[in-house]
Amino acid sequence: MGILNVTPDSFSDGGRFIARDAALARAEQMLADGADMIDIGGESTRPGAPPVPLDEELERVVPIVEALRDVRAPLSVDTYKPAVMRAVLDAGADMINDIWGFRREGALDVVKNSNCGLCVMHMLGEPQTMQLHEPMYEDVVAEIRAFFAERVTTLTQGGVSAARISLDPGYGFGKTVEHNYQLLAHLAATQPAGAAFPLLAGMSRKSMLGAVTGRGAGERLAASVAAAVCAAERGAAIIRVHDVAETVDALKVWQATKEAAANGHH
Ligand code: 7PJ
């Protein structure tokens, strides 16, 4: 899953049309580089980032969905606002990626009346404040597994078929560095008992990588690729990244190794 940020601060300047053209070119490039899905986001949810007003998010995201509908790669939209969900589904989006896990008022009502995929992400607290107070868990893996189980029950009882759901532990969303690595090491154990939902992992360029490499946000490519391989090895079905070409190469090597292992040795 290739990340497409359509926030104005992700592009130099020059207004909406230049931002739009740059976003479309970026999406085409990620698909050429081997992305299977594009995740379009109009609001930065990095810790402490200011919220974006509804009208502004709609203006950023809906034209991009409309323009990309024809590329026929699955389109996901990273939003927690029900009004944005409704608008992008009307515009042809295939998946809603919700950092709030469809817990906010109205979110379930929108998605249940469509056939879109859902990415249910775990977050402790909310983006403005989640990293200000030390996040605490008794057992982070068990708590995220319980959260997923509750979400799946609520969503399926609310009319969303289980086949539409994928789960994401939400790296960096109300977690310490140690929590994040626990959730990477034990990713498969976050799966609710007896279930087999696709697991999504998004660690690209995040501070958990800076914490162990000492590198700033702009120099975490190798660490991001390593994290992607670790996540794949531990059962991630979807990996959300900025650097598609490099990640796809690494995953091809991982895949070839896995296939050789499955073939036994001669
Ligand atoms: C995630 C996300 C993530 C899912 C962001 C960033 C922050 N959606 N949206 N999982 N992160 N599903 O990319 O650094 O980890 S925004």
Flag the least confident range among 50-64, 89-103, 119-133, 230-244: 119-133
Average pLDDT of span 10-29: 76
Flag the least confident range among 18-27, 82-91, 97-106: 18-27
Number of domains in the chain: 1
For a mutational test of ligand 1's pocket, the pick from 168, 183, 224, 243, i.e. the residue with the most ligand atoms closer than 8 A to its C-beta, is: 168
Q: How far apart are CA 253 and CA 243, in angstroms?
A: 16
> The domain that contains 25 carries what CATH number?
3.20.20.20
Residue 131: which domain range? 2-262
Average pLDDT of span 98-123: 97
Long-range pairs of 110-118 with CB within 8 A, sequence gap ≥ 24: 110/82, 110/85, 110/86, 111/85, 111/160, 112/158, 112/159, 112/160, 114/89, 115/164, 116/89, 116/164, 117/74, 117/76, 117/164, 117/165, 117/166, 118/155, 118/160, 118/164, 118/165, 118/166
Cα(203) to centroid(ligand 1), Å: 8
Give the model's pLDDT for residue 15: 63
Give yes or no for residue 5 CB within 6 A of ligand 1.
Answer: no
Average pLDDT of span 234-243: 98
pTM of the predicted protein model: 0.95
Give residue-wise pLDDT tens across range 23-49: 899 999 999 999 999 999 998 877 777
For the annotated catalytic residues, the residue numbers are: 206, 240
Give the model's pLDDT for residue 51: 86
Average pLDDT of span 142-164: 98
Average pLDDT of span 166-189: 98
Average pLDDT, the chain: 93
Flag the least confident range among 13-22, 147-156, 176-185, 197-206: 13-22
